[in-house]
Amino acid sequence: MTGGGSGIGAALTRALVAAGAHVVAADVDLPAAEKVAADVTGPGSARAALVDVTDAAAVESLVDEVAGEHARLDLMFNNAGISLLGDAESLTLDHWDQIIDINIRGVVHGVHAAYPRMIAQGGGHIVNTASAGGLMAAGLLTSYVMTKHAVVGLSLALRTEAASRNVGVTAICSAAVNTPILDKGELGPVRGRDYFLKGQGIKRPVDPDALARKVLDAVRANRPLVVEPVQARIAWRLGRLAPGFILRSGTKFVERQRAAAG
């Protein structure tokens, strides 16, 4: 479980342990991952590990270690990610490199380490945390949306290859989950929590533990996407039927956010 020290990763760790799984909560913030592992309850178990997903060798080493410890690797959750909220012109090349390295290459590194092993052992399941922003446009999150579209594309394409190898692939496409990412990555006056909630017409953020349970249900059923909450599903489906309307609505929303931020 990359990004296992907080947010969706922490919630997934709790849900997996409750379901009887043995989980490694891996994070660049080791104390946070250790706290998650120490607080879980259930028939399974969790331990923490330090890993930087931008380091391909470190990810592969951890996957090898876990698979060796348990004789197989049933599930790989590529969950680590960041967001950058603000106008595209406020992004430096370092910002672009950072979000690509974590949100795209971090997922690629996890897939590269886990997928061949799952093929060799006869099966498994890969879960990649994308976003509702990976299914539609969201201005002021341009770099984030780009990376999450990449994660969705990777997941759906890999799924078509992996099916005959008994390996499932699922992408999590959630919006406005109540995690630290709602309040991080702000590069200008637009406030993250206000943006994420109003952008989806959501009064309260999504409970990460409720989302985690739905993700595990999707894994059991081998579904390709988990799109939550219902407002995100409506916007996604409407965008497929009337893309021009959604783009115009998105443009107006960006204008309102800029005006409100001053």
CA-to-CA distance for 212 and 203, rounded, in angstroms? 20
CA-to-CA distance for 202 and 140, rounded, in angstroms? 18
Q: 């759906």: which residue's tokens?
A: 156
The CATH number for 167's domain is: 3.40.50.720
Catalytic residue among 144, 195, 196, 236: 144
- Kindly state the average pLDDT of the residues 231-237: 94
- Kindly state the average pLDDT of the residues 21-47: 98
Residue 191, pLDDT above cutoff 90: no
Q: Is 144 a catalytic residue?
A: yes
Helix ranges (H only) for 74-191 are 93-99, 106-121, 142-162
Domain that holds residue 216: 7-261
CA-to-CA distance for 131 and 112, rounded, in angstroms? 21
Residue 17 lies in a domain: yes
The closest alpha carbon to 172, from 234, 80, 102, 85, belongs to 80
Say how many domains are in the chain.
1
Residue 213 lies in a domain: yes
Residue 18, pLDDT above cutoff 90: yes
Q: At what angle do helices 106-121 and 56-70 cross, to 10 degrees?
A: 30
The predicted-structure confidence for 201-220, as pLDDT tens digits, reads as follows 777 899 999 999 999 999 99
The predicted-structure confidence for 62-108, as pLDDT tens digits, reads as follows 999 999 999 999 999 999 999 999 999 999 999 999 999 999 999 99
The predicted-structure confidence for 164-186, as pLDDT tens digits, reads as follows 999 999 999 999 899 887 777 66
In the chain, the amino acid numbered 37 is: A
Residue 2 lies in a domain: no
Q: Which pTM value belongs to this model?
A: 0.94
The predicted-structure confidence for 124-166, as pLDDT tens digits, reads as follows 999 999 999 999 998 999 999 999 999 999 999 999 999 999 9
Residue 1 lies in a domain: no
- Size of the chain in residues: 262
The predicted-structure confidence for 111-122, as pLDDT tens digits, reads as follows 999 999 999 999
What's the confidence (pLDDT) of residue 199?
63
Interacting residues of 63 by C-beta distance below 8 A, sequence separation 6+: 73, 76, 110, 113, 114, 117
What's the confidence (pLDDT) of residue 189?
72
Cα dihedral 138, 52, 54, 24 sign? negative
The closest alpha carbon to 86, from 165, 154, 144, belongs to 144
Q: For all residues of the chain together, what is the average pLDDT?
A: 94
